[in-house]
Amino acid sequence: MVDYDQEAVETRIRQSFARQGAMETLGASLSSVSPGVVEIELNYDRKLTQQHGFLHAGVISAALDTACSYAAYTVTTPEVSLLTIEFKVNLMSPGRGERFLFRGEITKPGSNIIVADGRGYALTDGPAKLIASMTSTMMVIRGREGISG
């Protein structure tokens, strides 16, 4: 992390994020990039709900997975790519709120496997409410054609 270049890392991540059709569909934005930690936010929208009108668990997973993946990008070099191998999501409270924050954070960096943890919060009145957590396992990919960023 000696050579951590915040501007280069953030540019790279923002360009990759912009290529994610799903993030645009969810109305998600990348609100913060720092070493080992990335935050994504999105507004409540009826088009993102499950049958009770709460944020769909899949939407929560999409935002947490993206936050965890880009958190991992902050600790890897530009020539490698990352694939999510698996994740686990705990849904702790209904996805009820006006706006949501999803934070991904590196738990264990590595040259082959990176583990990140994420937390999702509903932001409305009062303190942020924890609605979900994720643990995500990613594999570092080198030189696989057609996969970069």
Angle at 15 between CA 109 and CA 76, to 5 degrees: 15
Q: Pick the piece of the chain touching a copy of itself (CB under 8 A) from 2-10, 33-41, 42-50, 120-128.
A: 42-50
Q: Which residues have a Cβ under 8 Å from the Cβ of 74 and sit 6 or more positions away?
A: 4, 9, 13, 33, 34, 35, 36, 37, 38, 106
- The residue (of 3 and 126) whose beta carbon lies closer to a copy of itself is 126
Using CB under 8 A as the binding rule, whether residue 78 contacts a copy of itself is answered as no
Cβ atoms of 71 and 36 within 8 Å: the answer is: yes
The CB-of-149 to a copy of itself minimum distance in angstroms stands at 6
**What is the binding site for a copy of itself (CB under 8 A)?**
16-17, 19-22, 24-25, 45-53, 56-59, 61-66, 81, 83-94, 107-108, 110, 112-113, 115, 117, 130, 133, 135, 137, 139, 146-149
